[in-house]
Amino acid sequence: EAGVVQSPRYKIIEKKQPVAFWCNPISGHNTLYWYRQNLGQGPELLIRYENEEAVDDSQLPKDRFSAERLKGVDSTLKIQPAELGDSAVYLCASSFPSGAITDTQYFGPGTRLTVL
Amino acid sequence: QKEVEQNSGPLSVPEGAIASLNCTYSDRGSQSFFWYRQYSGKSPELIMSIYSNGDKEDGRFTAQLNKASQYVSLLIRDSQPSDSATYLCAVNRPKVRGYNKLIFGAGTRLAVHP
C-alpha cells in the first residue's frame, strides 16, 4: 500500500515569491494534517482536515498561508508571499478517522522549503 | 513550560548497550503517547504507541508510561548504529473542539557508536 505522497521534495524560492505544496494521503484516510517542522524542533500542526472541512486551523498564519482539500482527498498548502522565516520542512500526515485516542498519524516524506 | 519536554541530547551509547530516552508532558488529561523515529533528512516514522500505565514491549523497544508522574520513556535494547536518529515523543492532547491534537517534543538525538 502506498504511503503519504508529497511533492515537491525540495523547493528554493526568493522571498516574496509564492509557493505551493501538494499532498496525497493514504487511501481511506479521511483525516489529513499539515505540519511545519523547523530545524531542531518537532512538527507543529498548521491545519487539520476531516474530509473537506478544516476543523483546526488555529495555528495557520492566515495572512499568508492558505490550504484547500477539494473532494476530500488531495490537499494543497500555499504560501504567498513567502518570508525568510518560512524556511522549514512542511510535512503532510494522514490518519484513519476513528476519533479514538489510538488514531495513528502517518507522515509523508515532506517538502524542504528554503527561502532566500 | 513546554507541553512536551525532551532532552535534546545527543545521547551517546555504545553498540549493544541500552539507550534510555525520556519525555515529560504537562497536560494531565493526555491519554495516548507515541514515539517516532526520524533519521536526518527524513520524515517521522512511528515506532511505538502506549495508552496504559506500565510497560509495552515490541522487539528491542520498550515504552514505559507513568501517568501519575506525567512521564513516558523509550528503552532500546542492544542498540545498533542503525538506531542513530532523533526520537520524537508525541502526546495526544485531550479533545479540544471535538478533536485530539498531537503535540511533539523537540526530540532527543541518539548516537550509537561501534
Cell digits for B37? 523515529
Contacts of A50 in chain B (CB under 8 A): 99
A55-109 pLDDT, tens digit per residue, is 889 899 999 999 999 888 999 999 999 999 999 999 999 998 766 667 789 999 9
Q: Which pLDDT belongs to residue B80?
A: 97
Instruction: Detail the DSSP E strand segments found in chain B.
Output: 4-5, 11-14, 19-25, 32-38, 45-50, 54-58, 61-66, 71-76, 85-96, 99-104, 108-113
Q: Which pLDDT belongs to residue A98?
A: 67
B75-101 pLDDT, tens digit per residue, is 999 999 999 999 999 999 877 666 778
What is the rounded average pLDDT of the residues A16-33? 95
Distance to chain B for A18, nearest Cα, Å: 24
B104-113 pLDDT, tens digit per residue, is 999 999 999 9
A42 to chain B: closest CA residue:
B106
Q: Which pLDDT belongs to residue A70?
A: 83
CB-based contacts of B100, cutoff 8 Å, min separation 6: A99, A101, A103, B32, B92, B93, B94
Q: For residues B41 and B50, give the distance between their C-alpha atoms in angstroms, rounded to a whole number.
A: 26
Taking CA atoms, A65 is separated from A34, A46, A104, B1, in Å, by: 11, 9, 26, 28
Query: For residue A36, which amino acid is it?
Result: R
CB-based contacts of B44, cutoff 8 Å, min separation 6: A43, A91, A107, B36, B37, B38, B88
Query: For residue B14, which amino acid is it?
Result: P
Q: Which B positions 49-88 lie with beta carbon below 8 A of chain A?
A: 49, 51, 88
Smallest Cβ distance to B51: which of A102, A109, A110?
A102
Given a cut of 90, whether residue A11 has pLDDT beyond it is yes
Given a cut of 90, whether residue A44 has pLDDT beyond it is yes
**Which residue in the block uniquely carries the three cell numbers 495516548?**
B32
B12-62 pLDDT, tens digit per residue, is 999 999 999 999 999 998 989 999 999 999 999 999 999 999 999 999 999
Contacts of B23 in chain A (CB under 8 A): none
Q: In what order do the strands lie in the sheet containing A75-79? A: A5-7, A19-24, A75-79, A65-68
Cβ count near A11 (within 10 Å): 17
* Chain-chain contact of A40 with B8 (C-beta, under 8 angstroms): yes
Among A102, A111, A114, the strongest candidate for a mutation testing the B interface, having the largest count of B CBs within 10 A, is: A102
Contact B9, B110 (CB under 8 A): yes
Measured at the alpha carbon of residue B8, what is the angle toward residues B43 and B57, in degrees to the nearest 5? 65
Q: For residues B25 and B67, give the distance between their C-alpha atoms in angstroms, rounded to a whole number.
A: 9
